[in-house]
Structure 1
């Protein structure tokens, strides 16, 4: 089994036996090896441990999960999942988006172990210390998969990229402020400033405003 050389990981013996020498791990291997509390992605057949989340990341994640999750649930639009849901990019590549949304009409793409087709919306949060090259590859993976809408919140650079698919290409919006409307989540919108600052309005206030503004 190949483990990314930057990581020092102790594996229990029964999990070591599942390894296949120097051959790349497949998605099936990944799903068999990794448990719910493991925080690994599969990158070109190699298990790579994600860096521990920093507090600004976790504060935004929790705030956004409650906001978008509450909105989607109240309107019956589908389901929002976060941080531990494997998304297959290709047979040797798996990502764990910070947040993802799947429309009600497409819930069949959810399997007990992973999502094998594009979610309708994903959001990733970059923390200080994450390499810019890894951030670029992450966006590239979601583009390759064909995710209709991708939100990339770059906390160190205090900006975000919203990518909305149109045909075979993406429209890219780079924002540091202003209201951003989702293409994939009907009626949902946020102010970019709320994503980039640690001082955010209460979720219940914004949720009420969003629901009152939609039929």
Structure 2
């Protein structure tokens, strides 16, 4: 993945980055001041995202405990770091983080579905940045290995709290009733 469209291009403020993206094709994230293109996900990636979003809507929206959003929606963790998680949840007690154009600060739960071109970023930089920002729960979904990992924030870092591969279930410690059956999640993919 290209680190930036133009060598040396950097942004220190979200507003400048946002204005710049309005003139660029596609979707962009900002990693410590450096704009990076966000590639279009595969059909399989989109199907997994949709299945998880339906489960999140059931557990979060219908229970009236918060909001569920999918990409692309900017999550401004810092002035120089803006991601577009595949799925995110903001609980009602953090409604002050909702803006018209983005989420200001850490969502309560983030789901990233790995793609070959972004896996390194999702597993290292994003995971670190999400933990530092205070995301309470981080889910990593690997379509290739049919593995789901659920990390919970302890102090300033994520600790693996639940995992399954191919079959079995993973559960949220944050969202009551949120449970994912991996056979259902990856069926016919």
Using structure 1 for the length normalisation, give the TM-score.
0.75
Gaps of 5+ in 1: 9-20, 201-215
Q: Distance in 2 between matches of 1:158 and 1:138?
A: 20
Secondary structure (helix, strand or coil) at the match of 2:102 reads: coil
| Of 156, 172, 175, the match for 1:185 | 175
Counterpart contact for 1:56–1:198, Cα < 8 Å:
no
| Of 124, 140, 147, the match for 2:135 | 147
The aligned runs of 1:106-121 (5 Å cut-off) are: 106-121=94-109
Secondary structure (helix, strand or coil) at the match of 1:75 reads: coil
Kindly report the root-mean-square deviation, in angstroms, between the aligned alpha carbons of the 2 structures. Answer: 2.5
1:110-154 CA-partner distances (Å, limit 9, x unpaired): 111222221110001012x32542232222221221200000101
| Of 7, 11, 20, the match for 1:33 | 20
Which residue does the alignment assign to 1:70? Answer: 58
1:101 aligns with 2:80: no
| Of 161, 168, 172, the match for 2:149 | 161
Shift of the 167–144 alpha-carbon distance from structure 1 to 2, 3 Å rule, reads: closer
Counterpart contact for 1:60–1:198, Cα < 8 Å:
no
Give the paired residue count. Answer: 183
Q: Name the structure where strand makes up a greater proportion of residues.
A: 2
Query: Greater shift after overlay, 130-139 or 56-65?
Result: 130-139
1:24 aligns with 2:14: no
Using structure 2 for the length normalisation, give the TM-score.
0.84
| Shift, 1:71, TM fit | 3.0
Shift of the 106–96 alpha-carbon distance from structure 1 to 2, 3 Å rule, reads: same
| Of 35, 44, 47, the match for 2:35 | 47
1:171 aligns with 2:164: no
Q: Distance in 2 between matches of 1:97 and 1:131?
A: 11
| Shift, 1:83, TM fit | 0.4
Q: Distance in 2 between matches of 1:103 and 1:53?
A: 26
